[in-house]
Structure 1
Amino acid sequence: MKVLKFIGIGIVGLIVFLLIAAMIIPKDYTVSVSTTINKSQLVVFDYVKMIKNQEKYSVWVMKDPNVKIDYTGVDGTVGSKSSWVSLDDNVGVGSQQITKMNDDRIDFDIHFEKPMKGDDSSAMIVESLSDNQTKLTNEFYGHADYPMNLMSFVFKGFIEKDQAQNLANVKKILESQP
C-alpha cells in the first residue's frame, strides 16, 4: 500500500513539474534547416517558388499517394494557394499560401485543420553563394499554447527531420538537371 502511495505521489509530482516547466518554455519556436545546392540562385528560386513542385520533393505530400490537392491562383506568385485533404493523419487537412515574395525569400502561411488545428508560417530563403552555388534554407515558425508548448521539443524534431529530407530532395532533383 505504501508503494502505491509513493508511486501516486511521484506521478503527481512529475505532472506538477511538467506543468511548471511548460510555463517557462516559449510558446513560439523556429526550426531552420539549410543545404547547399550546386545551381544558380535563380534556378533554385524558380523551382521552390512553385507550390506544385512540392509534389516532387515534400515528404508530407509523398506520405499519402492518394492525397487530394487543389491549387488556386497563379502558382509561384503571391496569393497562390494549395489545399490538401488526406485520410492519412500524417498528412491531414490544411492549406498553404504564398503571402510574400522577393528575389531571395518566399513566405507562406500554413493552416492545419486535421489532425490538429493550427496556424503557422514558413519561409524558403534562397541565398547566392557564387554563380553556381546556392544556400537554400527552410524555416518553420510554430506556436503551441500552454501546456502543449511542452511538446514543442518533439514537434521541432519531427519538423527538422522532414525539412532536411525535403531540402535533400530538392538538391537531388535540381543537381540531376543539366
Structure 2
Amino acid sequence: MKFLKVSLLIVVIAIVGLLVYGLFIPTDLRVVEKISINKPIAEVYDFTKLLKNQSLYSKWQLMDPQMEHYFEGEDGTVGFVSGWKSENPDVGSGEQEIIAIMDGQRIDYELRFFEPFESKSQAFMVFTSTAPDQTEVTWGFDSEMAYPMNLMIPMMDMQVALSDDFSVGLANLKAFLEKN
C-alpha cells in the first residue's frame, strides 16, 4: 500500500511539474524556411499561387496520395479553399484558405485543422527575385498554442518537425519547377 501511495505521489508531482513548466513555455510557434529556385519569379509565383499544385510538392499532400480533396472558389484568388481528409493521422483533415494576395510577391493563408485536433494557424509564401532567372521562396507558419497545449511544442519537437516538413516541401517545389 505504501508503494502505491508513493507511486501516486510521484505521478501527481510529475503532472504538477509539467503544468508549471508549461507556464514558462512560449505559446507562439513560428517556422520560416527559404529556398532559391532557378526560375523567374513570375513562373514560380504563378505555379505556387494555385493551391491545387501543392499536391505536387507539399510533404503533407505527398504523404497520402489517397486523401480526399475538395475545393471551393477560383484557385489562386482570395477566398479559394482547398480542403483535405486523410486516414493518415500525420495528415488528418482540414482546409486552407487564401486570405490575402500581393500579386507576384506574397500569398497569405489561413489553415484550419479539424483532425487530429482542432486549431487555426496562419501561413504565408513570399517571393523575391534575386536574379532574372532566380527566385527566393520563403514559406512560413505562425500559430498560437494556448496553455496547456503549448506543452506540445517542446514535447513533440514541433519547431524542428515543421521546419523539416517545410524544407522538404520547398526542395520538392524546387526540383519540380527546375525540371519542368
Cα deviations by residue, 1:15-44 (Å, 9 ceiling, x for unpaired): 333212211212111111111111111111
Matched, 1:52 2:52: yes
Deviation at 1:174, TM superposition (A): 0.8
Q: How does 1:56-135 map to 2 (within 5 A)?
A: 56-102=56-102, 103-135=104-136
Cα deviations by residue, 1:45-72 (Å, 9 ceiling, x for unpaired): 1111010001111111111121111111
* DSSP-derived class of the 2:135 partner: strand
Aligned equivalent of 1:23: 23
Q: Aligned partners of 1:126, 1:173: CA distance in 2, in Å?
A: 17
Aligned pairs, how many? 177
Q: Aligned partners of 1:51, 1:106: CA distance in 2, in Å?
A: 11
Q: Aligned partners of 1:74, 1:83: CA distance in 2, in Å?
A: 14
Q: Aligned partners of 1:66, 1:74: CA distance in 2, in Å?
A: 23
Counterpart amino acid of 2:174? K
* DSSP-derived class of the 2:42 partner: helix
Q: Which runs of 5+ in 1 are unaligned?
A: none
Aligned equivalent of 1:35: 35
* DSSP-derived class of the 2:43 partner: helix
* DSSP-derived class of the 2:65 partner: coil
Q: Aligned partners of 1:137, 1:121: CA distance in 2, in Å?
A: 14
Matched, 1:158 2:173: no
* TM-score normalised per structure 1: 0.91
CA RMSD, aligned part only? 1.8
**Aligned counterpart in structure 2 of residue 170 of structure 1, from 160, 169, 173:** 173
